[in-house]
Structure 1
Amino acid sequence: MKKKVIIISVAIVLCLCIWLLAEGVFRYQANASTRAFLKSQDETIENILFARRLNISEEKLIDPFGEDGVIQILFIGLDTRVGQEVGHCDAIQLISIDTKGEGSINITAVPRGTYSPLPPGKDLQPSDYYISNACGLGGLEYGIQQIEKILGVKPDYLMVVGFSETMGILRYLNLPTTGTLQWLRNRHGYAIGELQRAHNHSTFIKQMLIKFVPTEQTKLNTALQYLVYNLIKTDLSFVQAQKIIDTISAMDIANHPEKIQLSIRPFHLVEDIAYDAENISKYLEETLGPITKLLSEDDYSDITGEKVQSSLLSVIGKNKDNPDFIIWAYQNNLWLQIENDEQRLIVQFDLLKDYLPLLQSSSERRLILEDYILEMENRGEPTWQAKGKDLLMLEI
């Protein structure tokens, strides 16, 4: 089981898909109008990714690094809110991988409060001009353009992830979900606030790479990589993602952590604060405990994991016969937010079973079922794998 967790973790980390904020912890309580906006936002993201794929050269379809041996991947975590074309770019990290020599990786954070121009015609206040709003008010493409100006780099590829996927990633890494999200979200515990939090995101990525990337080239589980890849919105193909995995594995960063350098744009003095999963509660108490009562309700500082889970399951139960909710929940991998393993499997299958009749294409239903069966096989869940096969037989 430990080996399987490591394999999954490697696939996830090497795909570098980390959305590090918990701003959307209650997004699953969205009403119909909110879900309509989220659907529109998803379509906008897919349209942008499709346009970017069309501009990828034939050479990079095979080798994403190209002739210069360098790849730049922009990672964005979106905080989606009603009334916006896409949502706030609340987590922004640029991962630069250079294969020249022995190889190197640079992780650059862009704090979400960094100044940015905004499109005209908006009712804006002077305090609104920051990069997170560039995505929320101008759209994702406009936001990316402003991020590129701050970084001075035009990324080769884009990855966008959401809250459910983040929960799944942390769980696959066998990390405490609630505590880790609080650690990643923490800005009130630092004198420089958001600047330190953005740098903490970079530190977290570095630690995860060092911990989970194998020191030697190994035959990674392609099926699991594919399943994880399907959780991410990206213009990278699966073949390209595998090439990146192989390249980072060859760098032996576990024994040479100095190959990973961290930076922040614009430049600020920040501290390298290590993420310690075993002592995370103690750290949060030391940094946030004294100021907890001063935080706003939006910070959810007093909401326990039990309350979050209870609310989530309640929403799912109340909407089990609502087709709009089922579509939204399935497409957003809502079950990944459930902590209990057995309950998560039950909800995943129930959503799958209710989602399939809402699809008109038989080939699409078969593909979804094949992916589900593959996932259950690789997770060692024969009972649920058999249930998936029973559903697939109905499509044949």
Structure 2
Amino acid sequence: MKKNLKNILKHVSIISGLFILTIVGVLLFLFNAESDTTDILNEEHKTTTFTPFVKTANNSIVNRKQFELQKAIKVAKNEKDFALVRTSKDYNKDIPFTIDERAGIVYRKQYNGRRINICITGVDSRMGSNYKLADANHVLSILIDKGEIEVTSIPRDTYADAGMPDSTNQNTIAVMRAAKGRKAYLRRIAQIAELDTIHYYLEFGFSQAMGIIEWLGYKNSKNTLQVLRSRKVFGGGDWQRTYNQGKFIKQSMIKSFNNFDGIFADLVLMGGLSLTESNMKSGLLSSILKKLKQNGFGKPEDVTLRVRPEFAYKYKNFDFNDEEIIAQMSSKVDSYFDEKYGKNRVSTDSTIIVELDKAITKANHADKTGKPYITISTLNTLFNQKIWLQITDKQARKKYRDKLKNLLVSAYYQKKDTLSAERVNNTIETENNLFKMNKNLTKSNSQSAQEYQN
């Protein structure tokens, strides 16, 4: 009897222990789920430190500021666009702009609070290719306790050790992303931006960029992106182009800030992040935006724009909130290319559709002959690039997007890979909801602004 009682008590003890551990585990899970973003905001991002020295390829220690400046001047002298476009035909003489003399020399603010550093990278990967050059490089340093943001914009030809012979002129930040990968690239970006580390990254290609611009409410994403990518029309080569991109980021943040508030904000942010490759979650981004709002963020003076490496230059400051100015600038870009390549250039839509037709024909044949691996290898990269977003005609865009989706879903089901099939379906559903919700939010905010003015 005593032995049985002892065994019963032993089993009760074990069961009780397991029950308590389970309860503790659930509580810890719930606590972590609720406090995750708060912990990240409170603990991960302490005051950043920065060393003024850098080790060069031959292991000598030099002053970082002087080293970057020498490299910047060397690139500027070697770049024909920078040296010559300023004295060539003035393609922007009738487009209004002011001059910004501070962006090339303005210093990082003295600030003892927390910084959250986010790298935004526009990668130049050709259609169907996974080789990613860092074509656009920008860092948002969020001064979370002050309600301010510093945007640091970095030209793609900025020096970086990409492991190439110096004679090739390939040791640039653009090539480093492709040759050495994201980690090495982000370390170098942090150095150039004079920050100790990059906490998060947002990376997207040409197609996703068009989707993001459209998501931000610009009517003609193709023209807007064409202007932001141009380095041969507005003077200053890659330096002016980089400044234009940074200015667009600054103005878009201020313009769209109120869109990311309210009941649908997290869903819109989640959809927006779905257009990028990122290590950020929508909940964290939402928490950052709420904290910025609490600290009064939302005015143009709350965002400082810097171009690095430090290089004194008179940047043309265009208003990218004015879509008429964007249209004028886009017209100038078209005029430049018409003059250089002739007026019978093939449109982007035609080029994309021809290549998509080839890929879809191949995948369709593979689908019918029971070769799903060929369908997947043919279409997967195109799908991940969201290549359909480059098609400006909305009906044609939807048609080709659905063809890619249906063929991939069919291939994954043939392989009995239901998770991948669901991922493809969810990607399209998220995209549909994203543009639908953001359209409603933009309309609602416009009506609110109009009511306020009246």
Structure 2 residue aligned with 1:145, among 166, 172, 187? Answer: 187
- Counterpart residue type for residue 393 of structure 2: N
Q: Cα 1:379–1:74, aligned 2, differ >3 Å: closer, same or farther?
A: closer
TM-score, normalised with respect to structure 2: 0.61
Q: Which residue of 2 aligns with 1:283?
A: 329
1:181-207 Cα shifts (integer Å, max 9, x gaps): 221012122442111111111100111
Counterpart of 1:314 in 2: which secondary structure?
A: helix
Counterpart of 2:347 in 1: which secondary structure?
A: helix
Tell me if structure 2 keeps the 8 A contact 1:60–1:66.
no
The worse-fitting range, judged by mean Cα deviation, of 256-265 and 325-334 is 325-334
Deviation at 1:371, TM superposition (A): 5.0
What is the aligned length? 313
Counterpart of 2:41 in 1: which secondary structure?
A: coil
CA distance in 1, matches of 2:259, 2:430: 27
Aligned pairs (5 A) from 1:226-305: 226-250=270-294, 253-254=297-298, 256-268=299-311, 269=313, 270-275=315-320, 276-285=322-331, 289=335, 292=337
Deviation at 1:351, TM superposition (A): 1.5
Q: Which residue of 2 aligns with 1:195?
A: 239
Structure with the larger RCO, 1 or 2 (CA within 8 Å, 6+ apart): 1
Q: Which residue of 2 aligns with 1:159?
A: 202
Aligned pairs (5 A) from 1:336-355: 336-355=389-408
Tell me if structure 2 keeps the 8 A contact 1:151–1:265.
yes
RMSD: 3.2
1:25-62 Cα shifts (integer Å, max 9, x gaps): xxxxxxxxxxxxxxxxxxxxxxxxxxxxxxxxx98654
Q: Cα 1:126–1:205, aligned 2, differ >3 Å: closer, same or farther?
A: same
1:50-98 Cα shifts (integer Å, max 9, x gaps): xxxxxxxx9865444334432110111112369x984221111000111
Task: Kindly indicate whether residue 171 of structure 2 is the aligned counterpart of residue 129 of structure 1.
Answer: yes
Q: Which residue of 2 aligns with 1:88?
A: 133
Q: Which residue of 1 aligns with 2:227?
A: 183
CA distance in 2, matches of 1:171, 1:113: 28
Q: Which residue of 2 aligns with 1:361?
A: 417
Aligned pairs (5 A) from 1:37-56: none
Q: Cα 1:248–1:348, aligned 2, differ >3 Å: closer, same or farther?
A: farther
Counterpart of 1:222 in 2: which secondary structure?
A: helix
- Runs of 5+ consecutive residues of structure 1 not aligned to the other structure: 1-57, 382-396
Q: Which residue of 2 aligns with 1:318?
A: 358
CA distance in 1, matches of 2:117, 2:294: 18
Q: Which residue of 2 aligns with 1:66?
A: 42
Q: Percent identity?
A: 21
CA distance in 1, matches of 2:253, 2:434: 22
CA distance in 2, matches of 1:302, 1:124: 38
Counterpart of 2:263 in 1: which secondary structure?
A: coil
- Counterpart residue type for residue 280 of structure 2: L
Q: Which residue of 2 aligns with 1:393?
A: none
CA distance in 2, matches of 1:342, 1:171: 16
CA distance in 1, matches of 2:334, 2:436: 39
Counterpart of 1:174 in 2: which secondary structure?
A: coil
CA distance in 2, matches of 1:87, 1:370: 25
CA distance in 1, matches of 2:356, 2:379: 9
- Runs of 5+ consecutive residues of structure 2 not aligned to the other structure: 1-33, 47-113, 364-374, 438-454
CA distance in 2, matches of 1:189, 1:312: 25
